[in-house]
Amino acid sequence: MQTNISKQFENNPAVQEAEEILRSCVHCGFCTATCPTYQILGDELDSPRGRIYLIKQLLEGSEVTEKTRTHLDRCLTCRSCETTCPSGVRYGRLVEVGREVIEKKVPRNFSERLQRSLIRKIVPYPGRFSILLKMAQLSKPFLPGSLRAKLPQKGLLRAVKVTSQKRKMLVLDGCVQSVVTPATNQAAMRVLEKLGIELQVAPKAGCCGAVSHHLSEQDEGLDFMRRNIDAWWPYIESECEAVISTASGCGAVVKDYGDLLKLDSQYAEKAKRVSELAKDFGEILAKEKLPEIDKQKVSRKVAFHSPCTLQHGQKLAGLVENILTGIGFTLTYVEDSHLCCGSAGTYSILQPELSQQLLENKLSSLQKEQPDVIATANIGCQMHMASKAGVPVKHWIELLDEVLS
């Protein structure tokens, strides 16, 4: 695709990167076939190809309106289009740049700004998020049914006795997961301990930066990333083998730290090293020899939902499914498994109607073969699906921990 980027972006490295991405698109439209919003809305401007055109116009200096911003807002950033694209168009990065530019050109009204600001000021901070959750739990009987269903149930906590091991890895505790499902990382610690690996948590690390980043507050997102790098660096300098994420959404962002901080002279090298060490929990397990498992314990039928951040973002489609079937679980067939469940970071709050429609479609495919449990690999998807599913929704590491115990 030819481009003629406006002179106003002459010294903007992000826009230069976006121009390169725009030029790699050959406008074939293959990506429209796997775009969830295009499937639901049927409007070319709600497809990847349409949005690429809108971003091109925006960066070429054409007039843009709230309508343009709405089409970009409706994108889930699920990156299903990237998996389908034969030309390797990095759509996820392109839409980030497009959103950052349009946020400044078409400012939001007061209530939208307030909503986004509240999300940014609460969600990435476990202390604040925990207080909000407790208040919501206390007022649960008075909440409307739709909101009540969204309140997460805490997973069962079992004490973990961490013993020192020769092999050490770091785990990202993150923000929402550490409050809502701390059982996930506890399970990860127990599983890795059986393999002779000690999972460490850096107390000063926190949100991976995704919340701010996805709300087009790039500088704020980069500050979260720098904070994590500072917190992890002493561990990395000593003996830590990997920086593990048990939430695929956070893992996808940590793997991008190197790219996102490449222009920061103070952090670029460290960020690159962190990204090299960043691994999804599944990538670690795939390389280890798992202990023998009592086959009777794996009799449950499992429907696995592969989060977009795992299959499209980290390009790890099939990895967890292979681990689960390898140890004896029966996985059901899930139709349209490439499509998003509608959680998509803050999407379920900001685009509730589309998000609910995607959730209903997802649960209907996942529950078609009547599984005993739905398993997934990301806290956002887990909470979103648990709000309406007819069976328990767990992190797959918890299933593994149960059968290894």
What residue ranges bind ligand SF4 (CB under 6 A)? 25-31, 35-37, 48-49, 51-52, 75-81, 85, 87, 89, 91
The token duo for 17 is 């990167």
Smallest separation, CB 52 to ligand SF4 (Å): 6
Tokens 């307030």 -> residue: 114
Residue 80 or 181 having the CB closest to ligand SF4: 80
Residue 76 or 285 having the CB closest to ligand SF4: 76
Smallest separation, CB 209 to ligand SF4 (Å): 19
Smallest separation, CB 335 to ligand SF4 (Å): 17
Residue 155 or 307 having the CB closest to ligand SF4: 307
Smallest separation, CB 81 to ligand SF4 (Å): 3
Smallest separation, CB 86 to ligand SF4 (Å): 6
The token duo for 52 is 């690429």
Residue 27 or 287 having the CB closest to ligand SF4: 27
Alpha helices in 142-292 (DSSP H): 145-150, 176-180, 182-194, 210-214, 218-237, 248-254, 257-260, 268-277, 281-286
Residues 108 and 359: their CA atoms lie apart, in Å, by 27
Measured between its terminal Cα atoms, the distance across the chain in Å is 55
Smallest separation, CB 106 to ligand SF4 (Å): 19
Residue 36 or 126 having the CB closest to ligand SF4: 36
Residue 77 or 228 having the CB closest to ligand SF4: 77
Residue 71 or 120 having the CB closest to ligand SF4: 71
- Radius of gyration of the chain measured on its C-alpha atoms: 21
Smallest separation, CB 89 to ligand SF4 (Å): 4
Smallest separation, CB 233 to ligand SF4 (Å): 33
Question: Please, which residues bridge with residue 303 across strands?
Answer: 374
Q: Are 168 and 378 in contact (CB under 8 A)?
A: no
Smallest separation, CB 113 to ligand SF4 (Å): 23
Residues 404 and 356: their CA atoms lie apart, in Å, by 35
- For 96, the enclosing helix (H) or strand (E) is helix 91-105
Neighbours of 78 (CB within 10 A): 29
- For 56, the enclosing helix (H) or strand (E) is helix 48-59
- Sheet (strand 197-200) strand order: 197-200, 167-171, 240-245, 278-280
Residues 281 and 259: their CA atoms lie apart, in Å, by 21
What is the amino acid identity at position 326?
Answer: G
Residue 72 or 170 having the CB closest to ligand SF4: 72
Residue 30 or 125 having the CB closest to ligand SF4: 30
Residues 78 and 69: their CA atoms lie apart, in Å, by 17
Residue 80 or 387 having the CB closest to ligand SF4: 80
Smallest separation, CB 218 to ligand SF4 (Å): 18
Q: Which of 16, 191, 149 is nearest to 94 (CA)?
A: 16
What is the amino acid identity at position 362?
Answer: K
The token duo for 76 is 């889930």
CA 367 vs CA 173, 298, 304: distances in Å = 30, 19, 10
